[in-house]
Amino acid sequence: MRQFPLETLDVAPGRLIEWQLRSTDAPGGGGPEAARRASFNQDKHFTAAEQSRDADDQVASWIAVTFELPGPLDQAALEEALLSFVRRHEVLRCAFQRLAGDLSCASYDPGGLTLDAAELGEFTTTEAVRGFLAARFRATIDTLAWPLFTMGAVVRDACSTVYLAFDHIVCDGVSMPNVAHDIAHAYAAALSGDEPELPRTGSYLDFADTQRNRFLTLAADDRRLDHWRAFTERTGAFFPPFPLDLGVETGRLYPIVNGACTLLDAAGTAAFDQACRDAGGKPFMGVMAALARCLREAGGPDVYRALMPVSERGDGPWRHAVGWFVNTMPIEFPVRAGMELPDLMAGARAAFAEMIRHIDVPFVRAWELLAPEHFAATSWPYPVNFFSYIDMRRCPGAAHHGVWRPTTHVWSSRANGACLWFQRDEEGLHMNVIHVDTPQARRTMATLEQGLRRTVREIAGTGPARRPPVATLRQQAGMAPAGVGR
C-alpha cells in the first residue's frame, strides 16, 4: 500500500456511483455524550479553517483511500458495508460545535443514518476518472460542514474501485488501511448474508475527550514540557527549519507540487532492512539517517532536527480505529561529515528513544504554550523539516493488499515548505513529497530525491559506494557554496 498523488492513480474507467450520508436525527440527542471535547489536533484544524474562511483565503486539504472489490458489484451489499463502517467509527458521524469558545463533538445516532445513492455517469478514460475525483474531493470536503467525507465507487463488470476522501479532522494516514480493511470485510460478509467479524475498536471521541481533560490545564512551566523546551532552546525556534533553500517568501503560501517515487524495490528494501539491523537500528531509522546525511551534504547543519508524527494507537482498541491518533514530536541527532551508518544509526536510535519518553504531551498544546506568537496562524510559520514513515505491511488487512490494491492520497491547496512521507510495503520503499511550487524548490527537491535514492541503495549494497563531493551536491541544487549568503 503506497501513498502517491491521486492524479497518478492507475484506475480503469467505468460508471461512477456516489453515496451521501444523511441522518434523520440531530447530533447528540441531548444525551451525556453531546458535550465531549474535540482533540487538540481537531480544535487547531477547525480553528484554522474558520480563520481562513473568514479571511476569504481558504486553506483546504483531504486524505483519500481507494481499493478494489473483485467481481461484479453488488450495490446493496456495498451500501450495507459503507453504513456498517460509518456506524462502527463514531468520529465519522460526529458534528463539531463551538461551546463557550471550546470545540465539542456530538455524534449522530447510528440507527438514524441512511445513504442516498447518486449516479454520476459513465467515464470512458482513466484521465477522466482521476480528474473528476480530484475535483470532486476539492469541492465536497469541507472542515466546517457535515458529513466530513465522501464515498463512491467506479463500477465495472470484473471489479470495482471504491473511493473515500476525508477531511483530516476525522482521520489520519494510518486510518486509511483500516478503512479498506473494514469495508472490504463488511462487503464480503454482506454478500454471504452474515454479520462482519471485525476486531473490537474504540471511539476517537473518547480518546480526544480524555486527552483534552488531561492536558487542558497544562502550563508553560510544567516539567512535562522540558523536552520540548530544551529542543526549542537548542534549535533557536519551536519549529525545526527545513535546512535547504526552497525559494519562499516569509508569510506567503504557494501552490503545491505533489510527487512520488520508489526508492528501492522489494529485494533492495529487504537488503536495506538487513543493513540497518546489522548497524544496530530499524529500517525507519535508516531512512532518517540517509535523509539526514543527504541534507548535510547539500549544505544542511551537522545536527539533524525534524518533526516526526508518531502514532498514539498502541496495540489496544485504537489500533483498528479511524481518527487522528497522531502526536507530532521533535527529534534530533548529530550528522557530522564523515559519519558512517552505525554512528548515524546510534544517534537516530538514541534520539527516537528519548522522543518516545516524552510522547504524551500533545504537539498542539506544546505549540500553544511555547510558541504563542505563531499559534494564531493558519499554517506553520516557515518551511519546517518534517519526516514520516509507515510500514504498511503491519497495518490491519495487509495480507489482503494484493487483492484489494489499496492506495492512499493526500492533497493540500497550498503550503509554505516541504513534507516527506515514506512508506514500506511488499513492493519496496516509497516516498511521497509535497512541496511549494517554486523554481528553487523544484531544483532542491529533485536533487534531494536523487541523493536519497543513491544513499539508500548504497546502504542496501545495490548502488555505487562512491559519493559526489559536497560542493557538487550544492551546485546541483542551485545553491550557493557553503558560507555564502548564509
At residue 99, the pLDDT reads 80
Question: Strands 14-23 and 113-123: what pairing?
Answer: antiparallel
Contact 125, 112 (CB under 8 A): no
d(CA 107, CA 78): 23
Q: What is the pLDDT of residues 367-385, one digit of tens each?
A: 999 999 999 998 999 999 9
At residue 31, the pLDDT reads 52
Range with lowest mean pLDDT among 100-114, 132-146, 181-195: 100-114
Average pLDDT of the segment spanning 68-79: 98
Whether 465 shows a pLDDT value over 90: the answer reads no
d(CA 26, CA 224): 40
Whether 477 shows a pLDDT value over 50: the answer reads no
Q: Is 280 helix (H, G, I), strand (E, B) or coil?
A: coil
Distances (CA, A) of 382 to 13, 239, 254, 396, 476: 41, 8, 12, 36, 24
Q: What is the pLDDT of residues 387-440, one digit of tens each?
A: 999 999 999 999 999 999 999 999 999 999 999 999 999 999 999 999 999 999
Average pLDDT of the segment spanning 97-105: 86
Whether 470 shows a pLDDT value over 70: the answer reads no
Range with lowest mean pLDDT among 41-55, 286-300, 358-372: 41-55
Range with lowest mean pLDDT among 27-36, 94-103, 424-433: 27-36
At residue 348, the pLDDT reads 97
d(CA 247, CA 438): 6
Q: What is the pLDDT of residues 320-348, one digit of tens each?
A: 999 999 999 999 999 999 999 999 999 99
Q: What is the DSSP string of 369-387?
A: HH-HHHHTSSS-SS-B-BE
Residue 74, strand partner residues: none
At residue 124, the pLDDT reads 98
d(CA 135, CA 122): 16
Instruction: Quote the DSSP letter at residue 241.
Output: B
Question: Strands 418-425 and 387-391: what pairing?
Answer: parallel
Residue 449's nearest CA partner among 290, 328, 327, 283 is 290
CA atoms within 13 A on the CB side of 92: 26
Q: Which amino acid is at 206?
A: D
At residue 61, the pLDDT reads 94
Q: Which amino acid is at 124?
A: T
- Domains belonging to the chain, first-starting first, are 2-209 (3.30.559.10), 217-476 (3.30.559.30)
Q: What is the DSSP string of 81-102?
A: HHHHHHHH-GGGGEEEEEETTE
Neighbours of 325 (CB within 10 A): 23
Contact 390, 422 (CB under 8 A): yes
Whether 33 shows a pLDDT value over 60: the answer reads no
Higher local confidence (pLDDT), 144 or 474:
144
> pTM of the entire structure?
0.93
Whether 296 shows a pLDDT value over 60: the answer reads yes
CA angle 429, 285, 344 (to 5 degrees): 125
pLDDT band at 306 (very low <50, low <70, confident <90, very high): very high
Mean of all residue pLDDT scores within the chain: 92
Question: What are the φ/ψ torsions at residue 287 (nearest 5 degrees)?
Answer: -65, -45
Average pLDDT of the segment spanning 174-190: 98
Residue 163's nearest CA partner among 218, 82, 237 is 82
At residue 314, the pLDDT reads 87
d(CA 58, CA 248): 20
Contact 439, 254 (CB under 8 A): no
Average pLDDT of the segment spanning 17-45: 83
d(CA 466, CA 481): 21
Residues 6+ apart with CB under 8 A from 55: none
pLDDT band at 181 (very low <50, low <70, confident <90, very high): very high
Q: What is the pLDDT of residues 219-252, one digit of tens each?
A: 999 999 999 999 999 999 999 999 999 999 998 9
Residues 6+ apart with CB under 8 A from 230: none
At residue 464, the pLDDT reads 60
Neighbours of 296 (CB within 10 A): 22
Look up residue 452 and give its three cell numbers.
536519497
At residue 467, the pLDDT reads 46
Average pLDDT of the segment spanning 155-177: 97
Question: What are the φ/ψ torsions at residue 153 (nearest 5 degrees)?
Answer: -155, 145
Q: What is the pLDDT of residues 413-427, one digit of tens each?
A: 999 999 999 999 999
At residue 471, the pLDDT reads 40
Q: Using only the alpha carbons of the chain, give its radius of gyration.
A: 23
